[in-house]
């Protein structure tokens, strides 16, 4: 499979959890070695340390930037909020993965317009840059979240609009394929609950549970990257790919991580904008959702993009994290399988993405 062979791939927000693992997979050449991988983000410190890590420098010096533009892996400072910056970085792009986001629910609740500027205006800047400059971008992948499905918080609302912006872009930019991926809680990603639980265990607890009924989809970072790969390979214009993944009660995740340690849990109550169960496909989307291998493909609702339906939809109801839950033992086994528990020891900060 040569999805990315000899392509220029731009990853916005490329220093984040998804961007790091996606970059590692691209550099492996398993799906074809790209001609260029451009990490586009606004945090110079994160870029610097990621650049040093990938160049395997023994000493961290600013000199490593001097040959930046000669490398397969290139780093660009910029912001999806800035139209000119986006135009510049997309000039020679073949594939764009939009991973830039404000994604922490409480932060977006307290600073909603900041979420709008990154999650909505950022997406529109990508669409505008391609359309108004007639850029020869082949594919744009919008990275979305289960919180965009029946959204109740600002993060989900802004991501839902990002999905619609990318889907609608197919109508006026027919030479570029705009597609989306939507997935749930990524295990051990920056800002997620498992690193929080590990930190609380290191400090001898207690572990904070918002409610004992809360469930979440559990998605390893590698599966998130697989979802992007699958969408690039098979998604039709305007489709949204959703992975089929297990779900568990968060109280069972906490119990599995605690193990035999004498550490307590405390119920703190649901935070602003949280749901008890997450939904990846809504009732309204179910009738236009079809299974493609290990993924659901949600077809666009716009009639200009919707293909003629020749078979029965795969879903009859919404796809929720509360539908079918792992047992405590199954939850423990999943965490072990993804190296989040090793011989009962707690992984140190920074080990998750290596």
pLDDT band at 306 (very low <50, low <70, confident <90, very high): confident
Joined together, the tokens standing for residue 349 give: 């900060």
Judged against a pLDDT cut of 60, whether residue 318 lies above it is answered with yes
CB 8 within 8 A of CB 76: no
Mean pLDDT, the chain, integer? 89
How much is the pLDDT for 67? 55
- This prediction has a pTM of 0.89
More confident residue, 180 or 70: 180
Kindly report the three-state secondary structure assignment for every residue of the chain.
Answer: CCCCCCCEEEEECCCCHHHHHHHHHHHHCCCCCCCEEEEEECCHHHHHHHHHHHHCCCCCCHHHHHHHHHCCEEEEECCCCCHHHHHHHCCCCCEEEECCCCCCHHHHHHCHHHHHHHHHHHHHHHHHHHHHCCCCCCEEEEEEEHHHCCCCCHHHHHHHHHHHHHHHHHHHCCCCEEEEEEECCECCCCCCHHHHHHHHHHCCCCEEECCCCCEEECECHHHHHHHHHHHHHHCCCCCEEEECCCEEEHHHHHHHHHCCCCCCEEECCCCCCCCCCCEEECHHHHCCEEEECCEEEECCCCCCCCCCCCCCCCCCCCEECCCCECCHHHHHHHHHHCCCCECCECCCCCCCCC
pLDDT band at 56 (very low <50, low <70, confident <90, very high): low
Give the C-alpha separation, 342 to 324, whole Å. 26
CATH of the domain spanning 8-184+219-244+279-316: 3.40.50.720
Torsions phi, psi of 327, nearest 5?
-75, 170
CB 75 within 8 A of CB 67: no
How much is the pLDDT for 271? 79
Sequence ranges of the domains in the chain: 8-184+219-244+279-316
pLDDT band at 105 (very low <50, low <70, confident <90, very high): confident
Q: Across residues 147-161, what is the average pLDDT?
A: 96
How much is the pLDDT for 342? 42
CB 2 within 8 A of CB 32: yes
More confident residue, 305 or 193: 305
Q: Across residues 317-340, what is the average pLDDT?
A: 92
Q: Active-site residues: which are they?
A: 147
Could you tell me the CA-to-CA distances from 115 to 122, 156, 256 in Å, in that order? 10, 10, 34
Residues above pLDDT 70, as percent of the chain:
90
How much is the pLDDT for 121? 98
How much is the pLDDT for 57? 54
Judged against a pLDDT cut of 60, whether residue 191 lies above it is answered with yes
CB 42 within 8 A of CB 78: yes
Cα dihedral: 57, 61, 63, 66 (round 10): 70
| pLDDT tens sequence across 262-274 | 999 999 998 777 8
């Amino acid at each position: 499979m040569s999805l990315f062979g000899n392509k220029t791939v731009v990853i916005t927000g490329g220093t984040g959890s998804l961007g790091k693992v996606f970059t590692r997979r691209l550099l492996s050449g398993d799906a074809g070695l790209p001609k260029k991988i451009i990490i586009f983000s606004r945090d110079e410190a994160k870029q610097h340390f990621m650049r040093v890590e990938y160049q395997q420098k023994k000493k961290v010096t600013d000199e490593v930037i001097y040959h930046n533009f000669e490398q397969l892996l290139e780093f660009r400072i910029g912001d999806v909020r800035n139209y000119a910056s986006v135009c510049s970085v997309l000039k020679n792009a073949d594939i764009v993965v939009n991973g830039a986001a404000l994604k922490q629910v409480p932060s977006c609740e307290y600073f909603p317009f900041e979420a709008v500027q990154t999650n909505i205006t950022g997406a529109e800047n990508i669409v505008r840059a391609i359309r108004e400059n007639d850029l020869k971008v082949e594919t744009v992948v919008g990275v979305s979240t289960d919180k965009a499905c029946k959204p109740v918080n600002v993060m989900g609302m802004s991501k839902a609009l990002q999905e619609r912006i990318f889907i609608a872009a197919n109508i006026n930019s027919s030479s570029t394929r705009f597609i989306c991926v939507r997935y749930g809680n990524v295990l051990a990603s920056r800002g997620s609950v498992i690193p929080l639980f590990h930190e609380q265990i290191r400090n001898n607890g207690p572990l904070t549970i918002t409610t004992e009924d809360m469930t979440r989809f559990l998605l390893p970072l590698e599966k998130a990257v697989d979802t992007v790969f699958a969408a690039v390979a098979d998604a039709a214009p305007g489709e949204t790919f959703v992975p089929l993944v297990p779900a568990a009660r968060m109280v069972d995740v906490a119990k599995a991580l605690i193990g035999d340690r004498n550490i307590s849990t405390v119920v703190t109550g649901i935070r602003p904008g949280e749901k008890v169960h997450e939904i990846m496909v809504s009732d309204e989307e179910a009738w236009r959702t079809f299974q493609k291998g290990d993924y659901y493909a949600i077809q666009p609702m716009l009639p200009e993009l919707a293909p003629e339906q020749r078979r029965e939809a795969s879903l009859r109801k919404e796809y929720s994290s509360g539908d079918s839950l792992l047992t405590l033992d199954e939850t423990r086994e999943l965490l072990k399988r993804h190296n989040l528990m090793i011989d009962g020891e707690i992984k140190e900060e920074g080990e998750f993405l290596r």
